[in-house]
Amino acid sequence: MIQRGTSPSPPCLRSYRTRSIGESPNEGVSGGGEKNCKKRFVCVVKFYCDDHFNNDTKVRACCSEETCQIVSLRIRKTKRVVLDRVPFSGGQPRKGVEEGPSRLRKQGYKISDFGELQVPDIKRHNITNTTLVKNSLECGTVSEKLSQEIAKATQEGKLSLTIGGDHSIAVGSVFGHASVAKDLGLLWIDAHMDINTPATTTTGNIHGMPMSMLIKGIPEFQSLPGYEWCSPCLSPEDVAYIGLRDVEPQEREICEKLGIASYTIDDIDKDGIGVIIKKALKRINPNGDRPIHVSYDIDSLDPKETPSTGTPVRGGLTLDEGIYIAQIVAQSGCLSGIDIVEFNPAIGTEEDVIKTAKNTMELIKILLGKKSHLEKAPLPPVDDSKASSG
């Protein structure tokens, strides 16, 4: 049986590896964090050590320690990268997600030559009235600032990389991108749809609502305080979901009514991630000539891959599947904007945090051009106990 939640096992997939939803050994990722290796990330998309940097498309090992590996990247010659670190947690109730960007730096991944968005202090509360959205003014203010930064970067022909922070910030990053790139396609990689409206939300948390503010055709609702600047900017056919497995009925109804392409974990188990990413990109970029924005919630991956996140859902993408998505999007040549969100270093053990940071950084590297170890799409795994020993 496939080990993704309670998904049934397709009979044709019985010999492949398991998608574990329990504990597993920590798997190393290239780009070690030795303190004496002053690794940096620069606008032309090169990872390097100050002492052993060369100006070619390949980067040499930076020091003698075997644990400190430097990756080889295909350099983007036509795009420079603008990074916005957004240490914001107001779209959800758990403290710590605002520390995601700084923890990546402390982990040994130096990100330089970029700024950090100033965000307001959040006065947290425990409102349970589902008609009252939480922290609307603060969330809207942050997203408006971010949208202006992303619009400026897009106008200058730069690729925008936004590291959160919770997923509410995607209202700003996507809106800012779409305000300049009128034919933008959006790939939303997430365990959740995040398409609740103020009228349908059961939590009041804005990180579960960004899509309702971005997609046209959703029943109108009164503009939230702080979001007066924002209006729907994407048509339903401009959007595709990948990795869904925790969808509320009212969200599914909205998605089906609008005809939004949505690919669940069950779809990936049935067809494989190679088929699914091809379908998703064909939907939002049929001619291969539209700019693409990828909004990547790390809870799309299985909790064994990214345990330090606020709303984990068992049975998610394997790390290889997550990497393959990033690889195919990067190779399309159309990637124009990236969000990486919901890394919460206050959740889990130190080992959990380190593993989540490493795997999150691996996704970023692949999106920005690092060649992965995958030569073809990974297959959906099944329970090893049911596989043949031969």
Residue 121 pLDDT exceeds 80: no
pLDDT digits (tens, 9 = 90+) for 30-51: 333 333 333 322 222 233 222 3
Task: Name the residue among 335, 243, 233 with its Cα closest to residue 293.
Answer: 335
Query: Whole-model pTM?
Result: 0.78
What is the average per-residue pLDDT within 264-282? 98
Starting at the edge strand found earlier in the chain, the sheet holding 81-86 runs 115-116, 81-86, 159-164, 335-341, 292-297, 185-189, 239-244, 261-264
What is the average per-residue pLDDT within 15-41? 31
Residue 280 CB contacts under 8 Å (≥ 6 apart), including other chains = 187, 240, 242, 261, 263
* Inter-residue contact 341 to 167 (CB < 8 Å): yes
Query: What are the residues facing 41 on neighbouring strands?
Result: 47
As a whole number of angstroms, the distance between CA 335 and CA 135 comes to: 31
As a whole number of angstroms, the distance between CA 53 and CA 61 comes to: 9
What is the average per-residue pLDDT within 270-280? 98
Please, which pLDDT band fits residue 235 given cuts at 50, 70 and 90?
A: very high
pLDDT confidence of residue 106 = 77
* Inter-residue contact 31 to 109 (CB < 8 Å): yes
Tokens representing 206 are: 């804005």
As a whole number of angstroms, the distance between CA 235 and CA 90 comes to: 27
Residue 244 pLDDT exceeds 90: yes
Task: Name the residue among 187, 190, 168 with its Cα closest to residue 261.
Answer: 187
What is the average per-residue pLDDT within 131-151? 92
pLDDT digits (tens, 9 = 90+) for 146-171: 999 999 999 999 999 999 999 999 99
* Inter-residue contact 183 to 334 (CB < 8 Å): no
pLDDT confidence of residue 66 = 27
Task: Name the residue among 73, 86, 13 with its Cα closest to residue 42.
Answer: 73
Which burial class, exposed, middle or buried, applies to 259 when counting CB atoms under 10 A from its CB (0-12, 13-18, 19+)? exposed
pLDDT confidence of residue 108 = 62
What is the average per-residue pLDDT within 292-320? 98
Longest dimension (CA), the chain: 62
What is the average per-residue pLDDT within 347-366? 96
pLDDT confidence of residue 10 = 30
As a whole number of angstroms, the distance between CA 11 and CA 367 comes to: 33
As a whole number of angstroms, the distance between CA 158 and CA 43 comes to: 9
As a whole number of angstroms, the distance between CA 100 and CA 365 comes to: 17
As a whole number of angstroms, the distance between CA 173 and CA 211 comes to: 12
